[in-house]
């Protein structure tokens, strides 16, 4: 399990952990014992994810073992030593094949609603979510064969991987993102459900 560096952030890169390990690291760790926000935010994240998991349970027969959520990326101040973050910044990699299997069935509107209004999700769950349509691509070394959907996937994945490794600059004149804040400065978590 990764540990926080002296600067209060994870070392550079994407660090893959199980859901329970993420909770231990970001909520239950002794350094966060006095945080009035972390447990509430974590519970909100779990409630948010539970709606996806309930859809998986309901439509298990249609999904053929493919989860709706491929991975969850957590970044921002929640993945730092900040005692009281205001929300959980997250990117969900939603499997597009699984999503297509469920669309049009009762309850599937959540697959849109969950990402329509980040402000609404932040208010209700304490989560600020972003969606990436996850694709399994076998011909990764042959970009000339990429479909438009595959290109979009790789673009979105790269954008958010880049973003979660950035930090705001200390001066208030630079409202990130900017060229000055583009260099990787911290790591983020990839959570396996």
Strands (E), the chain: 13-18, 69-75, 88-95, 127-134, 187-192
For residue 76, the tally of other CB atoms under 10 A from its CB is: 19
Residues sharing a CB contact under 8 Å with residue 70, sequence separation 6 or more, in sequence order: 93, 94, 95, 134
How confident is the model at residue 182, as a pLDDT? 85
Residues sharing a CB contact under 8 Å with residue 63, sequence separation 6 or more, in sequence order: 56, 98, 101, 102
Residues sharing a CB contact under 8 Å with residue 166, sequence separation 6 or more, in sequence order: 176, 177, 181, 182, 183, 184, 185, 186
Instruction: pLDDT band for 174, please (50, 70, 90 cuts).
Output: low
| 108-157 pLDDT per residue, tens | 999 999 999 999 999 999 999 999 999 999 999 999 999 999 999 999 99
d(CA 192, CA 184): 23
* CA dihedral sign of residues 127, 133, 137, 141: negative
Count the helices and strands in the chain (H runs, E runs).
7, 5
| 58-94 pLDDT per residue, tens | 999 999 999 999 999 999 999 999 999 999 999 999 9
Look at residue 111 and give its three-state secondary structure.
helix
């Amino acid at each position: 399990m990764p540990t926080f560096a002296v600067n209060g952030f994870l070392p550079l890169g994407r660090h893959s952990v199980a859901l329970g390990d993420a909770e231990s690291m970001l909520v239950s760790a002794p350094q966060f014992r006095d945080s009035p926000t972390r447990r509430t935010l974590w519970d909100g994240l779990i409630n948010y994810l539970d709606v996806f998991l309930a859809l998986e349970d309901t439509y298990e027969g249609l999904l053929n073992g493919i989860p709706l959520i491929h991975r969850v990326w957590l970044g921002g101040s929640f993945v730092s030593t900040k005692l009281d973050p205001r929300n959980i910044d997250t990117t969900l990699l939603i499997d597009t094949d699984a999503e297509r299997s469920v669309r049009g069935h009762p309850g599937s509107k959540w697959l849109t609603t969950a990402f329509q209004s980040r402000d609404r999700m932040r208010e209700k769950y304490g989560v600020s979510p972003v969606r990436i349509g996850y694709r399994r691509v076998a011909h990764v070394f042959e970009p000339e064969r990429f479909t438009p959907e595959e290109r979009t996937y790789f673009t979105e994945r790269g954008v958010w991987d880049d973003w979660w490794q950035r930090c705001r600059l200390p001066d208030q004149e630079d409202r990130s993102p900017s060229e000055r804040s583009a260099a990787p400065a911290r790591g983020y978590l990839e959570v396996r459900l």
